[in-house]
Amino acid sequence: MTNLLNIGAIHDAAMRTDPYPFASYEGTFKDVDRLLAAFPEDGFECHAQRRLLESLGRRESDEWYRHNVRTRPLLNLGESSPHEPGELNDVWLEVAEDLTSPEYRQALTELTGFDVRSIPMQTHFWSFDGGASFKPHVDKPHKMVTHLMYLTENWDPSAGGSFLILGSDDVTDVVHSFPPYANHSLVLRRTDDAWHSVTPIPRGGRSRRLIQTWFWAS
């Protein structure tokens, strides 16, 4: 029995195969309003590429804005206890307990067809801020299953930040587009042709918030 994570919604989801294995479903959390109100503001680090660009004197360049992404660990790789729990609202301790539960791993194993019951995992908070985007890419070979759980309230699709399922490395080859609506999830099974990207958020635009869990090949 999980606290906040809606395991039933995972069981009700189905993997699609076009153009590669992924699932999209609603109702990620049972009481998402608690999470929206408690999304952390502190303890984030900027994207490493952005820090590098600053060191090279390229602050406020197009590339610097594109990497306007911040992350904060909830669960470090292979750990079962939250990162710096004293700095988090108690609701996130409940979420961490759910994410490390056998029920969650079993549900994702059944959904994806890939056994994640005993491999290392990690979960981070993400904030995509004004100007941010991700170019088309395929995840690293050891990143087997990814679960994206969106936590941005009242998102307008015209504000960018949509996750694009692509048919190739061409950003215009869009097969599916998913705005980051609150309480919506995407689950991705890694393949060599699992191209995806994130559309740009305008400079000065709202932050796109989510938590992301990865399962790593051991």
141 compared with 59, residue with greater pLDDT: 141
Gap between the Cα atoms of 134 and 43, Å rounded:
22
Residue 156 has pLDDT above 80, yes or no: yes
What's the distance, CA 166 to chain centroid? 17
pLDDT tens per residue across span 188-214: 999 999 999 999 999 989 999 999 999
Give me 128's structure tokens: 């995509």
- For residue 42, the one-letter residue type is D
Residue 1 has pLDDT above 70, yes or no: no
pLDDT tens per residue across span 103-139: 999 999 999 999 999 999 999 999 999 999 999 999 9
CA distances from 64 to 59, 67, 133, 209 (A): 6, 5, 11, 19
pLDDT tens per residue across span 9-33: 999 999 999 999 999 999 999 999 9
pLDDT tens per residue across span 172-189: 999 999 999 999 999 999
pLDDT tens per residue across span 52-110: 878 888 887 887 788 889 999 999 999 999 999 999 999 999 999 999 999 999 999 99
- Domains recognised in the chain with CATH numbers: 7-216 (2.60.120.620)
What's 157's DSSP letter?
Answer: G
What's the distance, CA 130 to chain centroid? 17
